[in-house]
Amino acid sequence: MATEIVFSQSGESGTRAIIHDWLVHEMEIIQEGQVLCRVMVDETIHEVKAPCEGLLLKMFIKEKEHFEIPAIIGVVGLEPSSIADLQPVKSFPARQDRIIKIKGVRKIIAERMHKSLQTTAQLTMHATADARGLLAFRKQCKDAADSEMRSISINDMLLWIVSRVLERFPGMNALMLEESIIEKAPVNLGFAVDTPRGLMVPVIKDARFLTMRELSVQTKKLAQLCIQGKFPPEILEGGTFTVTNLGMFGINGFTPILNTPQVAILGIDSIELKPIVVSSDIQFIPHIGLSLTVDHRVVDGAPGARFLSSMVEMIAGFPYELDGKTKEEDQT
């Protein structure tokens, strides 16, 4: 007899997840309650434990593979033959080479990425920030009665934080055009969206004036328009700073490429446990990674580092309340 290893999260049906890593191997003897693997949902790691004692007969979902919640990710049992009814045997035709002509959106992306690297002096620096405030607020949102509040993601929170930090660093919210640096007054925040046609970067106009709820609604709307391919060209125009998030894929560090003529771009990495010394004890505290790329012709290392440090500080304190006000606003 085989027992399914089911991964499910209350209120997360249909949400995409990814196997971060398996801690055991197929046909390995496991004990009831033993941690078998770790799954990432909404940039948060969840441990999956064995439902019973036996052999890990099969991993239905491999490391770094995506799936929709709920899902059977593996099976525990005593006899290999007991998995036959749980996963039908599939045969796949031999794959053939494909020749894909570079055109349309893919050609535009290729040209812009190449030009960006050719015409700028790109410098990337990395940091991590205490993510407990983000995770706590995300939990509050999930429990909210308002559907718009429930849909606020960690990415939305980070976009909101970026829009506020940029107010203090006008040199980061800037464009370089020929021999001039233009520090832009509005914070028009671009964010990377993975679409069937390729990478697109819609722009949230005047992001610093939006509440968390308003910003979240706009990101969902703009992302959906890009995914559907039904959007006016102007939603991709006018960006002054870009955020790109690969953390949902378990990436813990990368080098974002500048979206020229912008002079900076922030990459969001995964949330992982980091050992921190607290009162002579070591505690494992969730931290989110940040990867900032700047155009070193315009932004020196120190100002870039100060911007990144301010991001770390604001994420760690995360001054936002579920009633829609910042802590600073509550004190006025």
Catalytic residues: 296, 300
Burial class, 244, CB count within 10 angstroms (exposed 0-12 / middle 13-18 / buried 19+):
buried
Rounded distance, CA 210 to CA 163, Å?
9
Give the Cα separation of 247 and 45 in Å (integer).
Answer: 11
Residue 307 · residue 172 · CB < 8 Å: yes
The alpha carbons of the chain give a radius of gyration, in whole angstroms, of 22
Pairing of strands 16-22, 29-30: unpaired
Q: How far apart are CA 222 and CA 242, in angstroms?
A: 14
Asked if residues 133 and 317 have their Cβ atoms less than 8 Å apart, the reply is yes
Q: What is the DSSP string of 241-295?
A: EEEEE-GGGT-----PPP-TTBSEEEEEEEEEEEEEEETTEEEEEEEEEEEEEEE
Strand partners, 320: none
Buried-state track 159-186, b at ≥16 Cβ within 10 A, e below 16? bbbbbbbbeebebbbbbbeeeeeeebee
Helix (H) or strand (E) holding 36: strand 35-41
* Number of residues that this document lists for the chain: 332
